[in-house]
Structure 1
Amino acid sequence: MASKQDNKDNPYTSLYLSPEGSDVSIICGDSIFPAHKKVLMNQSGYFKCACHEKWKILVEDKKKIVLNDDQPVLIRKMLQFLYTGSYTVDTYGLNVPDLPTERPNTMVKADYPNGGKFPDQEIYTPCFHAMLYAVAVFYEIPKLEDETVKNFRQSLWQIREKEGFQAAVIEVYYATTPGERKLRDCVVDMVIRHLEFFYRKESEPQILDHDILDYVPDFCRDICIASMMANRRFESELFQYGCAHAHMKDKVARVGRENSELRAELDQYKKRAGEVDTLAEHD
């Protein structure tokens, strides 16, 4: 995420969700976000076209953009990034993917007593980054794509519960197209590199289990292919090591033979030198 200094130097930071100078409103569900065309157009290909009226998106005197297909919390975080250069995680009331063993239309708990920090925030953080990545792709915001990929990788490594891991995998594979490989490759690479962490012994709580492999066939397929490729690389490296080892053995043997020949020559030289000294003494 951007540093505080970067945010301080950003001239748009103070305009985030501010009606001051707002010339367009973004409507998402029951939420209305005041916005500024200049900020939107400078960073988003989607909004650049929308505000130029290339697409019939602006409504009511061309001052409103309706985005009812998205979750308000994600649109708010997208705007936070466009205005400040960073975003904070907020899973409050977020609609998360249905897990293999859970009821449909799961929502992150929003009724935690006393208004405290609800316990699902940490669990669903990778899922949140994956959702925001899909938003960045759809609205054509390359910098937000890069930021969400980085944050997704960091948060996925901190996952300690099966629930959070499953939600992240489901979101990555069902909310993006097969051609969008950034998050998919990130998940697969992390699983292959740290398989002993994600797939544990039978006596230990599992993170990667049969449920998620059955539920997301494309993920199961990618894991299989990545495993085969990893084995192939290992075999190739092992073969190269074997060749190098054999070459080194030949070299050592050759040096040994050369040393033996040198020692034989030295012995012959010493012998001849000794014979010459003996003859000299007799003379």
Structure 2
Amino acid sequence: MEANNELLAAFATLYESAKYSDLIVQCGDRSFPVHKAVVCSRSHFFDGACSHPWKENITGIIDLSEDDHEAVEHMIHYFYYLDYLQQPKSAPVSRRHSIQKRRPSDLVLVQEDPLLAQAQAQAISSPDSSAPASPLSPSPHYRTDYFPDTKAPPTPDLDQTFDESLLDSYESDCDDDECDAFLQPPNLVVHAKVYAIAEKYGITGLKDLARHKFSIQAEHHWATLEFADSIPEVYETTVDSDRGLRDIVIQSFREHPQLARSKDMELVVRDTPGLAWELFRMGWGLPVC
């Protein structure tokens, strides 16, 4: 695990210093100096762009200005940290908006990263019998059940303001992971955008991570305007057959039928034909996908 942490720290140093960078990702007025060895190993798109005699490979510049600028920045950050939306170390921690920075051992699906595969194999074959069999296994706190049987804590209706007493009562009952998810400011729109850009550029690990983050926050923030705002992103930025985030949205409607009484949600459903059709089928007991 120490070797893996050292490798991730090295990636972070490369990102922050831009030393030895050999490729520029352009997005509007932002330029991101990156390293082909890092980005091409994690994205089918970047691998293809740098492996053929295309304009991008000749100029050393890949222009992504047509993509969402925030999503591009999170994608670049993921290439080097295997995470995004981390809280800076120097940032003050707010009781209501605390964001726990993920340790390398807690990264979702980190074992799938090709650049870390060698480190994993070396650690497994180490003669040290005290070393764990799989140092890159996900943390035991990693949630693989996207739709648990247990209900999320009660949350105020979409058209109501946040109730301070609700936070106090919930904090006394929840475990650390659940409290972290409940206290985090909702970033469902961001997660939907990151999911879409990960699909577009063939970044499997980032797509899985964005889905995981979206699922956890949807459990705890389904009754917020952020959840309503994220639905058009979910249904309009990926193809209909991509059920990654759509299934989470539909499951939220199954678990919380009171969403149908929200005026804000009514507007979203009217403006999102894909969601309206799936809710219609769900109401008649027909398969959604």
Which residue does 1:22 correspond to in 2? 21
Residue 71 (structure 2) aligns with: 74
The aligned length equals 190
Taking structure 1 as reference, are residues 214 and 207 closer, same or farther at Cα in structure 2, changes over 3 Å only? Answer: closer
In structure 2, list runs of 5 or more residues that go unmatched: 88-183
Q: Bigger radius of gyration, 1 or 2?
A: 1
Match of 1:131 among 190, 193, 196: 193
Q: Output the CA distance in 2 between the equivalents of 1:17 and 1:26.
A: 15
Q: CA deviation at 1:199?
A: 3.7
Q: Distance in 2 between matches of 1:140 and 1:186?
A: 21
Q: Is the 8 A contact 1:199 1:208 kept in 2?
A: no
Are positions 1:221 and 2:277 aligned together? yes
- Structure 1 Cα separation of the partners of residues 4 and 84 of structure 2: 13
Tell me if 1:37 matches 2:36: yes
Residues 145-185 of structure 1 deviation map (CA, whole Å, 9 limit, x = unaligned): 10000001111223265531221111101111112111111
- Going by fraction, where is helix more abundant, 1 or 2? 1
Residue identity opposite 1:179 in structure 2:
S
1:88 corresponds to which of 76, 85, 88: 85
8 Å CA contact 1:17, 1:33 repeated in 2:
no
Question: Is the alpha carbon distance of 1:226 and 1:57 closer, same or farther for their aligned partners in structure 2, counting shifts above 3 Å?
Answer: farther
Identity of aligned residues (%): 26
d(CA) in 1 for partners of 2:3 and 2:281? 44
Return the alpha-carbon distance in structure 1 between the equivalents of residues 284 and 16 of structure 2.
Answer: 49
1:76-123 CA distances to partner (integer Å, 9 max, x unpaired)?
A: 110111111111169xxxxxxxxxxxxxxxxxxxxxxxxxxxxxx935
Mapped to 1, the partners of 2:252 and 2:17 lie a distance apart of 40
Per the alignment, residue 122 of structure 1 pairs with 185
Render the CA deviation track for 1:208-246: whole Å, top value 9, x for unaligned.
632122111210111122233389xxxxxxxxxxxxxxx
2:4, 2:64 → 1: CA distance? 29
Asked whether the 8 Å contact 2:49–2:56 carries over to 1, the reply is: yes
Distance 1:220 1:89 in 2: 34
Cα distance change of structure 1 residues 54 and 30 upon mapping to structure 2, 3 Å threshold? same
Contact 2:28 2:65 in 1 (8 A): yes
Structure 2 SS opposite 1:229: coil
Report the CA distance shift for 1:229/1:57 in structure 2 as closer, same or farther (over 3 A).
farther
TM-score w.r.t. structure 2 length?
A: 0.59
1:15 Cα shift? 1.3
Classify 1:160/1:22 alpha carbon distance in 2 versus 1 (closer, same or farther; 3 Å). same
Over the residues paired in the alignment, what is the CA RMSD in angstroms? 2.7
* Deviation for aligned residue 1:189: 1.3
Counterpart in 2 of 1:159? Answer: 221
Q: Which residue identity lines up with residue 273 of structure 2 in the other structure? A: P
Work out the CA distance in 2 between the residues paired with 1:177 and 1:223.
18
Indicate the residue corresponding to 1:170 in structure 2. Answer: 232
Residues 122-159 of structure 1: per-residue CA shift (max 9 Å, x gap): 35x10100000000001100000100000011112232
Name the SS of the counterpart of 2:241 in structure 1. Answer: coil
- With a CA cutoff of 8 Å and minimum separation of 6, indicate the structure with the bigger relative contact order: 2
Aligned CA distance change for structure 1 residues 26 and 209 (closer, same or farther; 3 Å): closer
* Mapped contact 2:20–2:35 kept (Cα < 8 A): yes
Cα distance in 2, alignment partners of residues 82 and 18 from structure 1: 15
Between the aligned partners of 2:4 and 2:11, the Cα distance in structure 1 is 11
For residues 160 and 178 of structure 1, do their structure 2 counterparts lie closer, same or farther at Cα, with a shift above 3 Å needed? closer
5+ residue gaps, structure 1: 91-120, 201-205, 232-283
- Structure 2 CA distance, aligned partners of 1:15 and 1:227? 52
CA–CA distance in structure 1, aligned partners of residues 208 and 73 of structure 2: 18
For the Cα contact (< 8 Å) 2:260–2:266, is it kept in 1? no
TM superposition score normalised by structure 1: 0.60
